[in-house]
């Protein structure tokens, strides 16, 4: 229940004040333009694995990952997809969160990591609930073979479909260090094949990964900015207690971002991403018994306000530094600054 409440509070923060989201292309605006109802995501665990956990490409999984820290159904006895959907909807409605319709979010582990004759019934089970109006499916770039893309293309014809492919960093040395088990080239190939199908595609980036400095993180932002993806999720590196990185943290081997550093980096990254990109998320988990560090002692609404305050201080916004092609030595064009600070009464474009 606690994780469901954290998820609600995050999306409610995004949904609650679009006037304040004028500095970036908030996910809330996209949802409002896409659906006539108030829509929330229901996180699900369908019992999948990851190829970097079971030895196919590596063992142990991503060093920063513990699904229990962000997925409410990843501990205890695994329930059916339908049970998880019904219980999730009941939580939202019992707490009067205002959810009218829902996106079934296949979140835990790699949710295309099975033959299509096993995947299709799971997706259909989620869609069988009358209040489920879409599917969000999280996966990896090495787990989207053509038969899976055929299935997803068919699904998109009958429901709203959101495909999430994790990247975290464009730097192969970083991907090896955190045990991702794939390369940036594999991500580029996956994006190309996915977008040829016309599928909605978002990716995940983590700021503060071990061994990365600011320039490396901005290189990732610049490269992703040139790709034909639809949305980005940004998170800070946080350490779940059960994640492999927790041991390195306890030994004092990790330097984590401070909140002040993260606010600066988020704004730096958003300035370089094109304004067409939907920003689905702006931070990782902040509290809960599973989170070891950092403990910033702020809730997500406060951090969103800090990000907006920094944009206001700079007089910039998402996309102000974006240019098609190479992004080296880019500078803010004063002629574009005015579009970053529209009047509070101005209509917000979806």
Q: 112-129: per-residue pLDDT in tens? A: 999 999 999 999 999 999
**Packing angle, helices 2-16 and 27-34, rounded to 10:** 80
d(CA 305, CA 115): 44
Mean pLDDT of the chain: 88
Determine which of 8-17, 38-47, 172-181, 194-203 has the lowest per-residue pLDDT on average: 8-17
Extract the tokens encoding 80.
């059916």
pTM: 0.88
Q: What is the mean pLDDT of residues 158-172?
A: 98
Q: What's residue 143's pLDDT? A: 97
> How many other C-beta atoms can be found within 10 angstroms of the C-beta atom of residue 220?
23
For the chain, which residues make up each domain, given as ranges? 2-319
Q: How far is CA 243 from CA 69, 166, 238, 307, in A?
A: 9, 17, 10, 28
**CATH class of the domain comprising 2-319:** alpha beta
DSSP conformation class of 279: E
């Amino acid at each position: 229940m606690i994780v469901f409440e954290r998820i609600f509070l995050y999306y409610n923060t995004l949904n609650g004040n679009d006037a304040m989201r004028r500095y970036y292309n908030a996910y809330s605006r996209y949802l409002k333009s896409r659906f006539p109802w108030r829509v929330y995501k229901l996180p699900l665990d369908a019992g999948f694995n990851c190829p970097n956990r079971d030895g196919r490409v590596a063992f142990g999984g991503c060093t920063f990952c513990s699904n229990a820290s962000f997925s409410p159904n990843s501990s205890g006895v695994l329930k059916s997809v339908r049970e998880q959907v019904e219980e999730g909807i009941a939580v939202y409605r019992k707490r009067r969160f205002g959810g009218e319709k829902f996106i079934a979010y296949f979140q835990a582990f790699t949710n295309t990591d099975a033959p299509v004759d096993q995947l299709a019934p799971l997706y259909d089970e989620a869609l069988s609930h009358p209040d489920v109006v879409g599917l969000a499916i999280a996966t990896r770039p090495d787990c989207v073979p053509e038969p899976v893309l055929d299935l997803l293309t068919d699904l998109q014809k009958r429901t709203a479909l959101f495909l999430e492919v994790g990247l975290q960093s464009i730097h192969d040395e970083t991907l090896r260090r955190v045990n991702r088990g794939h390369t940036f080239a594999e991500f580029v190939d996956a994006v190309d094949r996915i977008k040829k199908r016309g599928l909605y595609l978002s990716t995940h980036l983590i700021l503060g990964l071990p061994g990365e400095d600011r320039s490396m993180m901005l290189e990732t932002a610049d490269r992703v900015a040139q790709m034909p993806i639809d949305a980005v999720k940004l998170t800070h590196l946080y350490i779940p207690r059960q994640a492999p990185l927790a041991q390195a943290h306890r030994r004092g081997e990790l330097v984590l971002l401070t909140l002040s550093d993260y606010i600066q980096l988020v704004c730096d990254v958003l300035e370089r991403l094109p304004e067409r990109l939907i920003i689905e998320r702006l931070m990782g988990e902040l509290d809960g018994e599973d989170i070891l560090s950092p403990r910033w002692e702020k809730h997500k609404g406060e951090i969103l306000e800090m990000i907006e305050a920094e944009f206001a201080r700079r007089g910039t916004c998402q996309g102000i530094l974006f240019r098609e092609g190479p992004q080296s030595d880019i500078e803010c064009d004063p002629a574009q600054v005015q579009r970053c600070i529209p009047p509070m009464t101005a209509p917000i474009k979806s």
